[in-house]
Amino acid sequence: MSTVHTEQSVGASPAPLAQLREVTIYSHTMLFYWWPVWVTGYILALLTYLQGTSVPFADATVIIHPSKNLGVIYTMVFLLVLLMTHATVRGVASLTVIATLLAVTFLFAYMGWWDDVFDAFSYLAIFMNLGFYVFFSTAVFIVWFLAVFVFDRFNYWTFRPGQMVHYQVLGSGAKTYDTHGMSVFKLRDDLFRHWILGMGSGDIHVAATGARKEEFVLPNVLFVGGKVDRIQEFVAMKPDETLINTVTAGEPV
């Protein structure tokens, strides 16, 4: 999500030919974490297409998979994503949740309750036809794609040595902030959202000083660790400093 621009010197050309690097940060909405819904839906649609049977229903014929488990799986995935994107569990709280889940798991095993739980689930039957999987998954995918690759890019931050610029494509244009005395750090990870669904995403906290004293929280930034390291380098630099090496944030130097 970040791009670093530099020009290398040609031959023995001096360092002033090098341009300043920059890191661009795109903050995403919670819709980014809904990718398991449409991915699971397309997988189940393929299974239904290959293994399903045609069933007459009213004035139409629909294709339904004979197993009742597919509908249960899709429903559970949908509910889990909904829960994970609306429940924040950070830092020590995440360890508490894990410890609680483990304690409940061992308690159920010790009391012999898991057999009853699985028996109850065995009576649960949810059937969805091929049309539902394809239509609903496609609708979720379109909304997800537009949010992640279009609308989320209307509002972004660019960090350069000694300077931060907040761009708003629709609205107030661009605001410039001096990085002197600026505080930039990654907030504690949300176990479910950042690691299970986001695969290493995170939130960035920015506190600007000087003429514009404002605080920002940039949520759901991809590959947040490497980007925070680069930003902290730029915050510690002066605007007239230049760097020669060509580096892309998140990749080894």
CA distance 249 to 1: 9
Structural domains of the chain sorted by starting position, each given as residue range(s) with its CATH number in brackets? 15-30+155-235 (2.30.29.30), 32-149 (no CATH)
Amino acid (one-letter) located at 171: G
Own/partner contacts of 59-64, CB < 8 Å, gap of 24 or more, are 62/129, 62/130, 62/131, 63/129, 63/130, 63/131, 64/127, 64/128, 64/129, 64/130
Q: Give the whole-number percent of the chain exceeding pLDDT 90.
A: 19
Residues whose CB falls within 8 Å of the CB of residue 11, separated by 6 or more in sequence, listed in order: none
Average pLDDT taken over every residue of the chain: 78
Q: pLDDT at position 142, please?
A: 97
Q: Pick the most confident of 105-109, 186-190, 217-221.
A: 217-221
Q: Is the pTM of this model over 0.85?
A: no
pLDDT per position as a tens digit, 42-99: 999 999 999 989 888 878 889 999 888 888 889 888 988 888 887 776 665 666 766 7
Judge residue 194's burial from the number of C-beta atoms within 10 Å of its C-beta, 0-12 exposed, 13-18 middle, 19 or more buried. buried
Helix 35-51 × helix 130-149 angle, to 10°: 150
